[in-house]
Amino acid sequence: MSTAPWDIYAEQLTHLGYGYPLWIPDPAPGAPPVEIGDVGWINEGEFVSLFNVFRGEKEAQPRGAVPVDHVPLLTRDCTIVGPRDKISQSVLYSRSIRKVDVSGEISATAPSSQVSCAVNFNFECTDEAGALLVLGPTGRTLDILSKRRIMDYMDTHFDRWLEFANDRLGLGLREDQLMFVSGTTKTSSWGVAAFRGATREKRGSVVGNLGPLTAADFSMSISDAQLSTSHYRAGPTSRTPGSCGWDASRNEYDQCVFIHYYKRKRRKWPLFPSVIKAAAGAHQLPRGPDDEMDGGDQIMDVDECE
């Protein structure tokens, strides 16, 4: 059982049904935010994009290149909904957390309408692992609904994608690690926390002030438990006044807290090749992005995480 905070976090929050929870929502310095149509993989809780299927070879790409024989997917051929506000709660948490009380204040600074969210969340642990996400101010979604279009496109181009990742970029990825992002949930600022240990029946608290200039003001504590600072973090960490591309007059929804994705995975079923839809909903744990491959004679499927 993993003790890495990003694994605990994903395991504990996938049941909410918003998609795969990202431990690192903010893009790396100089990198673009996660977008629908991105193809990449998850590394220690961060989605790393290789290229975007909606852009051509001569357009801006995360790695400055595309797979051989890349044919862009046309947005006019897809049904895309959003962006729309979908998560209005200030705190999302795992089943193992029982809310005791939560107090908070959301304020806007005129005339720029910068939104700041102060949260004081007190809870009880009912198990030895848990996680929570603090949002400031809301979660905004954008989704591709054209399931059949995505599956047909992946079936045609996936082998080139894998060659690009491994032969061109030398990443050594398994095919079940490569993902097509079909949906994103983004916010402006956030705090994440995860824990595993002797925490059952203990009380804890999360205190934070999330805003354009105060995102780092975030901490978690659990009574009689030693927690590493690596088990809670807040952001965005790279957005500072005067930084290139940052507009201090508005709250930018560029911090991706959940993704919906499709991926291809081998299976042992001795049946005709087929495409299936597999949802990680409230009744089951998620298949992690780094699940081991099955062995033996296998066929190709496409899995979707909702």
Q: What are phi and psi of 171, to 5 degrees?
A: -85, -25
Q: What pLDDT, on the 0 to 100 scale, is given for residue 70?
A: 95
CA angle in degrees (0–180, nearest 5) for 35-195-279? 45
Looking at residue 202, the DSSP 8-state letter turns out to be -
Give the pLDDT of residue 11. 94
pLDDT band at 209 (very low <50, low <70, confident <90, very high): confident
Q: Is the pLDDT of residue 217 over 80?
A: no
- Average the pLDDT over 21-38 and give the result: 93
Encode pLDDT of 157-194 as tens digits: 999 999 999 999 999 999 999 999 999 999 998 989 99
Mean of pLDDT values over 273-298: 41
pLDDT at 205 over 70: yes
C-alpha 304/C-alpha 276 separation (Å) is 8
Relative to beta strand 255-267, strand 179-187 is antiparallel
- The pLDDT of residue 295 is 32
* φ and ψ of 244, to 5 deg: -60, 130
Q: Is it the case that residue 280 has pLDDT exceeding 60?
A: no
- Smallest Cα–Cα separation from 23: which of 9, 43, 41? 9
Please write the tens of the pLDDT for every residue from 35-93: 999 999 999 999 999 999 999 998 989 999 999 999 999 999 999 998 999 999 888 99
**Could you give the 3-state DSSP secondary structure of residue 147?**
helix
Going by C-alpha positions, the residue among 131, 125, 122 that lies closest to residue 202 is 125
Beta strands in 188-254 (DSSP E): 189-196, 203-210, 217-222, 232-235
Question: pLDDT band at residue 222, thresholds of 50, 70 and 90?
Answer: confident
Inform me whether the pLDDT recorded for 290 exceeds 80.
Answer: no
Question: What pLDDT does 99 receive?
Answer: 78
Per-residue tokens: 286: 């998620």
Which residues, 6+ apart, have CB-to-CB distance to 209 below 8 Å? Answer: 116, 117, 118, 119, 217, 218
Q: Does residue 280 or residue 36 have the better pLDDT? A: 36
In 3D space, the residue among 25, 155, 197, 8 whose CA is nearest the CA of residue 94 turns out to be 8
Res 285: pLDDT: 39
Give the pLDDT of residue 281: 42
pLDDT band at 302 (very low <50, low <70, confident <90, very high): low
Instruction: State the average pLDDT over residues 219-229.
Output: 74
- What is the helix (H) or strand (E) element at residue 150, kind and residue range? helix 147-163
Residue 226 confidence (pLDDT): 67
When comparing pLDDT for 224 and 147, which is higher? Answer: 147
For the segment 103-124, what is each residue's pLDDT rounded down to a tens digit?
655 444 444 445 556 778 888 8
Distance between CA atoms of 234 and 4, rounded to whole angstroms?
Answer: 17
Can you give the pLDDT at residue 257?
Answer: 96
Q: What is the pLDDT of residue 283?
A: 37
Residue 304 has phi, psi (to 5 degrees) of: -120, 130
| 203-210: strand order across its sheet | 97-109, 114-125, 203-210, 217-222
User: Among positive and negative, which fits the CA dihedral 14, 19, 25, 31?
Assistant: positive
The confidence band for 273, taking pLDDT boundaries of 50, 70 and 90, is: very low
